[in-house]
Structure 1
Amino acid sequence: MSQAFAGRRVLIVEDESLVAMLLETILEDMGCVAVGPAATVDEGMKMAADAEPIDAALLDVNVAGKQVFPIAEALKTRGVPFVFSTGYGESGLPDDWRGHPTLQKPFTEAAVRDALIKAMGLADV
């Protein structure tokens, strides 16, 4: 467990329950507090707009057939860093969103950790 992640609240937006559970476990192993998971864009929007603090987010690009970009926009407005996850990697993102940290599915615990470090601007921990 890294002290840099201790207690950090990370929103999970993921419609595949097994992937969501894996992310929760990875985040908890890193010392984070998992927020959610949200399984729909509407649910994710509510969590992203909530007054609860969020330190970062992991966003599945395609959630129950809808694109996650409205949530990404809401988080960007709040200044919350986020990581996209997709089976297509960064090439599957629209041009406007390229350059954001992106996890390609299937991912490893190390890949999640590295993507969050990049998104959150943490020194390598």
Structure 2
Amino acid sequence: MKKSVLVAFSLACIIVLPACETSFSVPTKQQGTLQQYLSNKGCDASFQCRVIAVGYQPNCASPREYLVYSTKHNDEVKVESLAKSITDNEQRAGTIGSSACSTPVPVQSLCIENTCQPVPVYSK
């Protein structure tokens, strides 16, 4: 009985109430792997710091987040591959989120105190 009520509610949320909010930021195994892989953000200079867009928000057609990483400790090809795989999976899943668009603020990365850190990019 409980299962059928849950299924009915879920279908109503998907079909009847498109504004129902379903979380699309639940970490996947790949996303956890990417975040773990990028955990060492050590750097000697800002040229070793990079930013990559990860995930997909269907209502915004924008990335879910921007991650900062260090090329000193991470292989750029592997980072790009993992990020692309996560983004492609989210696009294929057609994840339903809230009708509101919460576009993440673009960032640049700088080496501050020997750590790659995000710095918001503001446009005029």
- Same-fold call, TM cutoff 0.5: no
Q: TM-score, normalised by structure 2?
A: 0.24
Q: TM-score, normalised by structure 1?
A: 0.24
Structure in which a larger fraction of residues adopt helix: 1
